[in-house]
Amino acid sequence: MSVDQYMQEKFPNLKLRPPLFYNWSIGIRYELGVNYELENIHESHSYLEEVYKRASTLFKSIHSSNDDVYIVVDVNDFGEHKAYKRKLNIFSKYVKEKAILFKLQHHIIPNIFPEDDEEGTYSTHRFSLKCKVSDFNYSPMLKAICNQDMGVRPSIFHRIYFINVSKNTIFHIYDDRGCDLLANSLDAIRGNFEEYNEWILDYDRDEIDNIFKKSH
């Protein structure tokens, strides 16, 4: 089953593009970055340390080592460069066994932000790799995603989604500010809602509370 087929079956009509939380009925939006102050940010800075801790904790709370996941990376082609033609090293840097890379899939789809591309000139290159959670080093990968706007290396600027086939969840860090956790059933993420309730983004807290109250 391809990632597109999986999405159609388990998350019908959900377009894999941010903001995921506002486009699906079951989800949680967590705050990763707190008490940000404009100053010299570095990897050991307390702000980023908290971001890393929350990102890693939330990832581990929903992903077991033996879970099957799709790691999906979207690379936009804006006509300025053809980065997608080079070997996408986002995967090779973090997978433990290079043989897994033979399963890497590449599809060209219409620009996932059509509102920014009225003439339909650009496209999105979607790379997906199905593997076990234990097949890749997720901790440094999560850090690199969180670093994207911080001027800290390593950084990953492309959108990355972790789609858990075993749990039917989607985990997406949009930047150091926060992340979305979606599911196709309330029970799949009820434990996360309860255990990490204090990390829920206050802006969306009422809506998230209502999502989980519906089942009672």
Asked whether residue 99 is assigned to any structural domain, the reply reads: yes
CA 74 to chain centre: 11
Asked whether residue 201 is assigned to any structural domain, the reply reads: no
Find the range with the poorest average confidence among 23-37, 47-61, 128-142, 172-186. Answer: 23-37
State which H helix or E strand residue 100 sits in. Answer: none
What would the two tokens of residue 118 be? 């009225």
Asked whether residue 115 is assigned to any structural domain, the reply reads: yes
**Which of 7, 31, 33, 56 lies closest to 170 in space, CA to CA?**
7
pLDDT on residue 105: 93
For 72-112, the pLDDT digits (tens) are 999 887 655 455 555 567 899 999 999 999 999 998 888 88
Asked whether residue 188 is assigned to any structural domain, the reply reads: no
pLDDT on residue 46: 82
For 8-53, the pLDDT digits (tens) are 999 999 999 999 999 999 999 999 988 766 565 555 578 899 999 9
Total structural domains within the chain: 1
State which H helix or E strand residue 130 sits in. Answer: strand 123-132
Asked whether residue 87 is assigned to any structural domain, the reply reads: yes
pLDDT on residue 39: 61
The pLDDT confidence band at residue 122, using thresholds 50, 70 and 90, is confident
Asked whether residue 193 is assigned to any structural domain, the reply reads: no
Asked whether residue 89 is assigned to any structural domain, the reply reads: yes
pLDDT on residue 143: 94
Asked whether residue 151 is assigned to any structural domain, the reply reads: yes
pTM for this model (two decimals)? 0.91
Give residue 9's identity as a one-letter amino acid code. Answer: E
- Give the span between the Cα atoms of 147 and 42, in whole angstroms: 10
Q: Which domain holds residue 100?
A: 3-11+38-179
pLDDT on residue 52: 95
Question: Taking 80 as the threshold, does the pLDDT of residue 160 lie above it?
Answer: yes
The pLDDT confidence band at residue 145, using thresholds 50, 70 and 90, is very high
